[in-house]
Structure 1
Amino acid sequence: MSYQLRREDVIDVAELKAMLEHSPGKAAQAILAAAGQGVVEAQALLGQILLDGHGIEQDERLARHWFAIAAQAGNAMAFNMLGRCLEHGWGGEVDLTQAAIHYAQAADADSDWGLYNLGNLLATGRGVPVNQAQALFCYEKAAHMGHAKSMNLYGRYLEQGIATTASPARAVRWYRRSAEAGDFRGMFSLALVLVERGEVAEAAPWFERARGEGNLSFLRSALVTLQNAGPVLMSFAARYAEELERREE
């Protein structure tokens, strides 16, 4: 039986999001109904659950369709997620130029994720010309909005002096904020600078947390960094290698 919304029902998108945690099937039906009634936030949320297959059968092409509908209405989340579909080829062709356009629209709507994703394209020259100054602007703005991944990248720009004056002290502060906000790359960045300061004991738990929480791509790159960093980090390198081997089995 499909979920039907009555005219007198009050559509609370926050409530629908909470419902996804404990009753995803019922929530998906309610989101579908609300999206069909033109509730823009529900349309964007429908795109997300279709993309994830959460409470509903996964359908990347239909997810992209609903993100596009919500984006036409100016929804910041939809702008960002449509950009991700276009960047990664979810539900259709890859189009990095259009991805950058949609990320920029999300960024203009003060989406921290839109700023972060646009910054990544600007930093690497995918879909747009390389522009480190603009990438720095995106990361800095998102970092000040509390975006943990952007905090780490803003710290990197400060540490390495990319498109700005190098400021190692400020970089460490941002790495710490990123780590404390739960970003495993920020944890790793913080641990590395702590080792450079000779504070290996303080670095150790951050290395361990990053090892446990990081994804496979991170573990592979982190292992190379640790292996090339000298004898002091070889014990950490061994633990990262063990973790990587365990996950790849």
Structure 2
Amino acid sequence: MRKFLFFTAVFLPFVANPVQAQTAKSTKVVAGKTALSLEQKARAGNPKAQTDLGTAYYNGQGMAQDYKQAISWYQKAANQGYPLAQYYLGNACLQGIGLTQSDEQAVSWYQKAANQGLAEAQYSLAIAYYTGRGVTQNYGQASFWFQRSANQGFVPAQFYLGVMYRNGAGIPEDHDRALFWFHKAADKGYADAQYNLGLIYHEGKVVKKDEKQATFWYQQAANQGLVEAEFNLGIAYLKGQGVQKDKDKATFWLEKAADKGDSHAQDVLEMMNK
């Protein structure tokens, strides 16, 4: 079986594209009156409208895509203390989109938004402290900001807070708390948390060993394409751990992992075919 997944990601997948993070929080911008009304509000100084207009320019919704215009509107809103715009500016600084790339500036904007309680910014700030990107590495600060974000229900932060508790990084090691936060994230469909829960139930140190539960969580993560879970699920079917032995299903999941370049799965398949 594979070992635990810890920091498998750096910043959230949507960090490279601020628009993806804003969809649920902003007005959908379309051509015509909506765009015109939005621009009028933005020019009047409304920070939410300025942020939405920046996103419209970034995404090319209702007007031609223009990163410089997007950043200009984000800056106007951010300078008024609007946290979502500050967060998007942090993302832009991190990626060098529409302005000069700067990890330090990214952290500065994340800090401003995090201080106002924006969960996404708190998470990105925590990652910065954990990795030491743009700021001096500090596990204590990382765990602090993961906690703040996780408490608001932000799923990636819940998973990584579980990791911090399991590792005793920046906070006392506490496997019960790790299990709690892994469950929180896993129940919301976070594949890495589902996989780690599978390992916990297979390992049987924090909870009573339960191969059925282990296989259940491997299955959830494997269904989302997590290669480590695909491998472990294949092994479970091969050995009959928590499920009936089934060579066909074992082969299916091991091939899934092998097709993604997993050398362990390739080796097991080779042995199976001898």
TM-score class normalised by the smaller sequence: 0.7 to 0.9
Picking from 35, 40, 50, the partner of 2:42 is 35
Which residue of structure 1 aligns with residue 177 of structure 2?
170
Question: One-letter code of the match for 1:64?
Answer: I
Equivalent of residue 239 in structure 1, options 256, 269, 273: 256
Q: 1:81 aligns with which of 85, 88, 105?
A: 88
Q: Deviations over 1:44-89 (max 9, x none)?
A: 1222333333444333332222111110000010111100100111
Q: Which residue identity does 1:127 align to in structure 2? A: G
1:87-126, aligned counterparts within 5 Å?
A: 87-126=94-133
Relative to the length of structure 2, the TM-score reads 0.69
Q: Which runs of 5+ in 2 are unaligned?
A: 1-22, 239-249, 263-274
Query: Is the 1:211–1:243 Cα contact (8 Å) retained in structure 2?
Result: no
Say if 2:202 is the partner of 1:202. Answer: no
Q: 1:35 to 1:176 in 2, by over 3 A?
A: same
Identity within the alignment, %: 26
- 2:163 matched to which residue of 1? 156
- Whether the aligned pair in 2 keeps the contact of 1:16 and 1:31 (CA below 8 Å) is no
RMSD over aligned Cα atoms: 3.2
**Amino acid in the other structure paired with 2:256:** R
Amino acid at match of 1:201: K
Greater C-alpha radius of gyration:
2
User: Is 1:116–1:150's contact at 8 Å kept on the other side of the alignment?
Assistant: yes
Contact 2:119 2:154 in 1 (8 A): yes
Give the residue type in structure 2 aligned to 1:105: K
- Unpaired runs of at least 5, structure 1: 1-13
Cα pair distance change 1:16/1:128, threshold 3 Å: closer
2:63 matched to 1:25? no
Report which stretch shifted further, 36-45 or 72-81. Answer: 36-45
The C-alpha deviation readout for 1:155-207, integer Å capped at 9, x for no partner, is: 00001111221111211110111122343333333333233334343344544
Question: 2: CA distance between counterparts of 1:48 and 1:151?
Answer: 27
- Indicate conservation of the 8 Å contact 2:230/2:256, yes or no: no
Q: CA deviation at 1:113?
A: 0.9
- Displaced runs of 4 or more, over 6 A: none
Correspondent of 1:191 among 186, 191, 198: 198
Classify 1:181/1:16 alpha carbon distance in 2 versus 1 (closer, same or farther; 3 Å): closer
Q: CA separation in 2, counterparts of 1:237 and 1:120? A: 32
How many residues are matched? 222
Q: Mean Cα displacement is larger for which, 28-37 or 167-176?
A: 28-37
